[in-house]
A and B are shown apart, each in its own frame.
Chain A
């Protein structure tokens, strides 16, 4: 191809790409970012500790594990399904890993088993959803209760607290508790790594492209003969693995885990994904959106704690903001007329 043609093509291509970027980011995320900036200004004005390095680092650390789960959930939502069982998977992964390890299984094997059980739960969810054809909402709702029950059963309703003399304890502590220079906790590194991997998968691979197609119009995906079942199997497995990883990281950071760990995660995970612009009906969702959505949620919790409004008021406020954010999004997208956001 002559150089001139190539340049012309490239020019047009980047123009087209810019168009898409404009569609997604400006329309959907600019409002969210504006809300974040506004919230930060308000919190800083009230409490000067808010805008300090220590507080912000702590804020990002505290959001890292639920955001890792939210990334997996973003993939599930893009494929047009739901996974409500991620909280329970988080709990059982930590418990399985801890129990095996404390009962003499080598550290690495126990760790693999913890992650493996997350993948296994994901595969079972996917199988029931795609082969038995039970809607994923019901499948994973049932799985949530089932897995929680199993966690209580295997742990005998007891929390576990691995003693420091166990082989591999140093690595265990480091997994979620290590601190890098500039007081950056390792959890932020995990967050960044998972974000990068999922973002690559969703936005830069054929897999992500087809996944958005499958979620966007399942009938058309069938007509186009896309591998719907196989892709959904992968997606649920990744979501399970993300939840398991998050559970193990928090287990390591806290140093113990309880049978009910993860029970409160469903709200922040879904709120982050939905505030971030993913569509519950499938086909839309970005990793950056989920990340910003999670940051916004964390910011509110953190700021409200600093203000000392109390846990109950916090719950009420965060609930209102979640509904408000999506309502605002609906309003701006319908108001925007023909310029709907597109995935690619």
Chain B
């Protein structure tokens, strides 16, 4: 029976140690799950297994024989959340592309391809261009390609993050069927605890570049997994969620009210939210839960309908004036052709950086930029420096700074500290808390429990488009407690589709 052994694999990028001696075993005939918080080294591990990176140390064995980089490239199939295929070609044509040279003629499907297509129930769509097919067809096509080149190891990297429930079941159905083959190893990397528990035989929890725990059998529960995921993660700051935003008077004014707020394509439904001055609400949810879309829709970047009142008003001007949105991806939030100062002040207009007649006051722009650089502790040589020369953490501070520069009453922020170091995290949390303390409100989307613990007073979980009831972060004694509670809340959320 085929087995994969990973022994003491290490990998570092500059100062960052992504993997610190990872040990892992996988056997054919089982589905191995891998879970871990962001930055734990999961994606590095996936890249190493896929032959995209070489480890610094350690060995990978397949059936006891070293599994070399070239072998891995040939026989490891990675199914990504966004498959890397050719959307303009049909499903069949996508299968024919990597087949080597069959001469100068356009390749045609042979019995082998037809057989794989029928195994995966793809005959119906075989001649349709991929771009007109649903995402599950893309992923099944990716699996089909891997089957055709006799891949030994199937690695699913967040495969169902963008799939609807039914599609997800369909995909996992195929994954489970693959387990029956004795020469194939199946590994699923996912954030979705429910699916890991439901479909995997064992789940390895990767923490800080090592395999922290392996759960199997009765120990494999959502709550247990959630607790394991946050082991050893200390809150980033002294001021934890427990202390909330001390000194804040929770005002009577309603800064954000959503009622019956529903996404046009039903990514979320009937969302009710009320935020008052001093509130920090975090929304937790996995990719595809609808949480991200909820925040974007509040900022007017995703289509939704229902009631949305910002500071008591429903008009677009009020939203422009009182709400500032910070996207998760810095590439969509910053202007690469601008300096730091210009980025910090890009949302401002008359009178902050321009005269009544629209003349740009560069002196004020730079003075303001300098002031914001100080306030947000952005470390740079000068405000005139291109924003692209900053580190990721400092860029994130620029993104947060530019949103708060226009003095909104409500900041809507996606993953406030994605890809930033601990110290910077603490600074950003401090800024957001300070902002709330001054009589404003924060709505944040988080994917990690420690962030919720650090930042939020209240947390609500988005699951399949429905928002749970709020949970007071302060009532959880530790990050582990909170993780367990949140896992329960995810489980308790109603299903989007009846039945």
Contact = CB atoms under 8 A, between A and B. Distances in A.
Contacts of B333: 220, 223
Given A217-B336, A225-B319, 11 more contacts: A10-B363, A13-B362, A13-B363, A16-B383, A19-B382, A206-B353, A215-B337, A219-B327, A226-B347, A340-B386, A342-B384
Nearest to B367: A9
Contacts of B386: 23, 338-340, 342
Given A12-B370, A340-B386, A208 B360 contact: yes
Contact of A220 (B335, B339, B341): B335
Nearest to A209: B360
**Which bracket fits the contact residues of B?**
35 or more
Interface in B373-399: 382-386, 388-389
**Which bracket fits the contact residues of A?**
35 or more
A74 to B, nearest CB: 14
Interface string B309-343: 00000000001100001110001111111110110
Nearest to B339: A342
B337 A216 contact: yes
B402 interface: yes
A272 B332 CA distance: 31
B92 to A, nearest CB: 31
Contacts of B61: none
Given A223-B301, A223-B325, A225-B320, A206 B338 contact: no
Contacts of B320: 225
Given A209-B360, A284-B337, A16 B354 contact: no
B418 to A, nearest CB: 15
Interface string B340-375: 011000110110011000111011011100100000
Given A340-B386, A342-B386, A20 B301 contact: no
B360 A205 contact: yes
A213 B326 CA distance: 16
Interface of A: 9-10, 12-13, 15-17, 19-20, 23, 203-210, 212-213, 215-217, 219-226, 279, 283-284, 338-340, 342-344
B360 A204 contact: yes
Contacts of B402: 224
25 contacts: A12-B370, A13-B362, A19-B384, A206-B354, A207-B358, A209-B342, A209-B365, A212-B335, A212-B337, A212-B338, A213-B342, A213-B346, A215-B337, A217-B335, A217-B337, A223-B325, A223-B327, A226-B346, A226-B347, A283-B335, A340-B388, A342-B338, A342-B342, A344-B338, A344-B362
A220 to B, nearest CB: 5
B466 to A, nearest CB: 26
B335 A20 contact: no
A239 B222 CA distance: 61
B299 interface: yes
Contacts of B353: 206, 209
A203 B342 CA distance: 13
Interface string B473-496: 000000000000000000000000
Nearest to B335: A216
A216 B338 contact: yes
Interface string B199-222: 000000000000000000000000
A344 B350 contact: no
B79 to A, nearest CB: 28
A343 B342 contact: yes
Contacts of A15: 382
A20 B339 contact: yes
Contacts of A215: 337
Interface of B: 299-301, 319-320, 325-327, 331-339, 341-342, 346-347, 349-350, 353-354, 358-360, 362-363, 365-367, 370, 382-386, 388-389, 402
B338 A213 contact: yes
A16 B373 CA distance: 14
A223 B402 CA distance: 11
Contacts of B337: 212, 215-217, 279, 283-284, 342-343
A217 B334 contact: yes
Contacts of A10: 363
Contacts of B388: 338, 340
Nearest to B319: A225
Contacts of B358: 205-207
A204 B358 CA distance: 9
Contact of B366 (A13, A224, A225): A13
A215 B335 CA distance: 9
B198 to A, nearest CB: 36
Contacts of B367: 9, 13
B332 A219 contact: yes
Given A12-B370, A16-B384, A209-B360, A344 B339 contact: yes
Contacts of B338: 212-213, 216, 342-344
Contacts of A209: 342, 346, 353-354, 360, 365
Among B326, B359, B386, which residue has the most Cβ atoms of chain A within 10 A? B386
Contacts of A20: 339, 384
Contacts of B325: 223
Among A16, A224, A283, which residue has the most Cβ atoms of chain B within 10 A? A16
Contact of A222 (B301, B336, B365, B366): B301
A280 B385 CA distance: 23
B347 A224 contact: yes
A20 B353 CA distance: 18
B347 A216 contact: no
Nearest to A283: B337
Given A13-B367, A205-B360, A283-B337, A344 B382 contact: no
A212 B337 CA distance: 8
B332 A217 contact: yes
Contacts of B382: 15-16, 19
A283 B353 CA distance: 19
A338 to B, nearest CB: 5
Given A19-B382, A20-B339, A223-B327, A206 B350 contact: yes
A212 B362 CA distance: 15
Contacts of B319: 225
Among B325, B333, B338, B385, which residue has the most Cβ atoms of chain A within 10 A? B338
Contacts of B299: 223
Contacts of B346: 209-210, 213, 220, 224, 226
B336 A216 contact: yes
A342 B341 CA distance: 12
Nearest to A285: B337
A344 B342 contact: yes
Given A16-B383, A19-B385, A205 B359 contact: yes
A212 B335 CA distance: 9
A282 to B, nearest CB: 8
A118 B367 CA distance: 40
A206 B360 contact: yes
Given A204-B360, A206-B350, A225-B347, A213 B335 contact: yes
